[in-house]
Chain A
Amino acid sequence: MEARMDPQGRQAGGGMDPRPHGGGEADAMAGARVLLVEDDVELAEDVRGDLVDRGYDVEVARTGGEGARLAGLASFDLLIVDRMLPEIDGLTLVEQLRETDPTTPVLIISALADVDERVRGLKAGGDDYLTKPFALVELGARVEALLRRPLQTRTTALRVGPLTLDLIDRVARRGERVIDLLPREFKLLEYLMRRPGQLATRAMLLEGVWRYRFIPETNLVDVHIGKLRRKIDEDGQPSLIQVVRGQGFVFRADE
């Protein structure tokens, strides 16, 4: 059985456009309700503005108490919670929320970068953890990733565009051509193909594919992607993996 990916119908952006998805007219996620709990007024305003530009419906709470109240009043598709908040601490807020709502994705943003803090945040019920200062692009990519959740196919193969991944035999094919991939390259391709049309940042790939928590000084992800592109692309055809300058990579979802 093969799972036919539903193309998102979105153009992976490039060039100077700071947002690859441009607000998305046919975006399934457009209009998703996001609750941002952040006490810094300016940062909250910038994040809210960026998310609104991306087509989300954003509410902002300045304190943990207000966040808890708002989360109780309405249902949100995603929560973005600062780790350190007045009244109720961010972790406590997430823990409280998890008692009644185990599914709504939560992104924790924090000035604390320690591995311990990260582990604590994820244990409390966070789904992702982003350290301040962050690029808005990074935040946007992670918000999208959380809202979409990767394709958890129960099938044995992934097919996006001309590419097919046999998940049992670990074989990649473009049409009839078998692509010779190293195990890590296969994982990288699988990660991207499970999120077609979505931006994957370098940090997301390091965490998701390599499980590394550190950012190497050399830009290794780009080199790995470059090598993968040379293997999967064909002459005269547009590249299947779009490089979004300064942001990350998108697996083209369009046919």
Chain B
Amino acid sequence: MNNILPILRSTAFRTAAAVASAFTSGVVLLFAFIYWQTTVSETARITNIIVSQSELIRGAPPEQILWMVQTHVAADLHRVTFAALFDRQGEPIAGNLQHMPPDLLPDGKPHWVEALAVDDGRTEPERVIAVARRLGDGRLLVIGRNIEELANLRRLVTRALALGVIPAVLLALGVGAWMGQRTGWRVRSWQRILTHVREGQLGVRLPTRENGDDVDQLAASVNHMLDELVRLLGELHNVGNTIAHDLRTPLARARAQLERTRRGTHSREDLERAIEKAMAGLDQSISITTSLLRLAEIEGSRRRDAFGPVDLVDIAREVAEFYEPAAEQKGITIHLDLLHCPPLFGDHDLLFEAVANLVDNAVKFTPPGGTVRLLTEATPAGPQLRVADNGPGIPASVRANVFKRFFRFDTGANVPGIGLGLCLVAAIAKLHGYALAVEDARPGCVVVLTCRPSGAPSVPEPARDEYAGAMH
């Protein structure tokens, strides 16, 4: 029973059962038609024949009637026809009936009666459709036809129905069970394989038969998904390695510094210098950890409690003011071109942080004497903020990477930083459902943040985030 139940529950078996019942209904309808054809229609045909025969005989000249009756009987080699002529007293004159059937009225209409034939040795009366008519001279004409044949036909049809439908249904159910068993076997083997995947063996793949059927396509999709998973895990692993590298290097420096200092004798100044270097290493590790956690916090956040109306122009102006002295110190001009934008619905502090990071980056990568431009405008796509610099720019080939963790494009200028700023901007943009892109500013690069006005529906896109969860 344990083996049968899953088969009975399988989709293939259920489909087969449905097909079988549809097939059965079709066959039953067909046989019902045949049955109707053989009984009702055949009976009507026979009735018509005997009625017209009886009329034909009655209308014949009296001297020919006797001969016609005798010929009618003699011509029937199948012995299904009855014809007889009785005198006024009901005594048989000619034909193959022993006596007048008792229930038969001489009204010229067909009746179902029992009749006994004269000469075939049968003693049992037969079922007959018969018509009786009184002739002009008082004699009684009976024309009939045996309908046992029809009953036989009916039995035959019923038997054929049974013989045809029952095996067909059984066959359909059998095929269904077989298919259920077959797909069940496939599904169970998939389940086994996927259990391996769940246990961490990501190398296994579902078998395909290369026949392109739906099950095969499903297997191919699952395999594709597994390939993707392996690829993502690989990238995640790389990110993990980068994080480990960036975190451990300053820690290693600090440790080496302290260890070297513990050995040997040092002046107070040496000790202070060593401690300061070690603390700088620790501080760098701490700031990377803090940034990573902050990133994870924003990436993992679905929280919109802090959302409210935000003015992009205000933010841009405030950020510019915040960075102005630093830019000035480096000989960089911050140029503002702020056109009115409809209000946004977002987290003011996070958006400020995002814009600040963009400007921080731009100031960092612009050589002295350069210009950083902040532009806002309302575009058909939504309020837009552009932060452009005329620094070295970013080649198109690596633009997609700038929002990834720890990506640092080697511009030749040795710029400090931990490479998480733009990543944070990307996370904040994603939280808000805003689009973020890097474009060519010829010269330099421009980062474009396209926001949604506060009225627009904000659907956090389930877009593939290759790095989400790296720090979770």
Contact = CB atoms under 8 A, between A and B. Distances in A.
A218 B364 contact: yes
A31 interface: no
B124 to A, nearest CB: 101
B329 interface: yes
B131 interface: no
Contact of B325 (A114, A213, A226): A226
A114 B298 CA distance: 9
Interface of A: 16, 113-116, 131, 133, 182, 184, 210, 212-220, 223-224, 226-227, 246
A223 B353 contact: no
B353 A217 contact: no
B303 A217 contact: no
Nearest to B421: A217
A216 B293 CA distance: 16
Given A212-B352, A213-B349, A216-B360, A113 B322 contact: no
Contact of B353 (A16, A214, A227, A246): A214
Given A113-B290, A113-B297, A184 B303 contact: no
Given A115-B306, A214-B349, 14 more contacts: A16-B272, A184-B321, A212-B353, A214-B294, A214-B356, A215-B287, A216-B356, A216-B357, A217-B418, A218-B363, A218-B364, A223-B325, A223-B326, A224-B325
Q: How many residues of B sit at the interface, in one of the four size bands?
A: 20 to 34
A64 to B, nearest CB: 25
Interface of B: 272, 276, 286-287, 290, 293-294, 297, 303, 306, 321-323, 325-326, 329, 349, 352-353, 356-357, 360, 363-364, 416-418, 421
Given A16-B272, A133-B286, A214-B353, A220 B326 contact: yes
Scoring B325, B353, B364 by chain A CB atoms within 10 A of each residue's CB, the highest score goes to: B325
Contacts of B323: 218, 220
A87 B227 CA distance: 48
A217 B417 contact: yes
A9 B360 CA distance: 40
Contacts of B293: 113
A227 B286 CA distance: 29
Scoring A210, A214, A215, A226 by chain B CB atoms within 10 A of each residue's CB, the highest score goes to: A214
Q: Would you call the interface of chain B mostly helix, strand, loop, or mixed?
A: helix
5 contacts: A210-B322, A216-B357, A217-B416, A218-B363, A223-B326
Given A213-B349, A214-B353, A223-B325, A113 B294 contact: yes
A139 to B, nearest CB: 14
A104 B303 CA distance: 33
Nearest to B290: A113
Contacts of A210: 322
B289 to A, nearest CB: 9
Contacts of B272: 16
B360 A218 contact: yes
Contacts of A217: 357, 360, 364, 416-418, 421
Contact of B303 (A116, A133, A219, A223): A116
A217 B288 CA distance: 11
A16 B417 CA distance: 26
Contacts of B421: 217
Contacts of A214: 294, 349, 353, 356
A26 to B, nearest CB: 28
A224 B321 CA distance: 10
B336 to A, nearest CB: 15
A182 B272 CA distance: 39
Contacts of B356: 214, 216
Nearest to B349: A213
B6 to A, nearest CB: 48
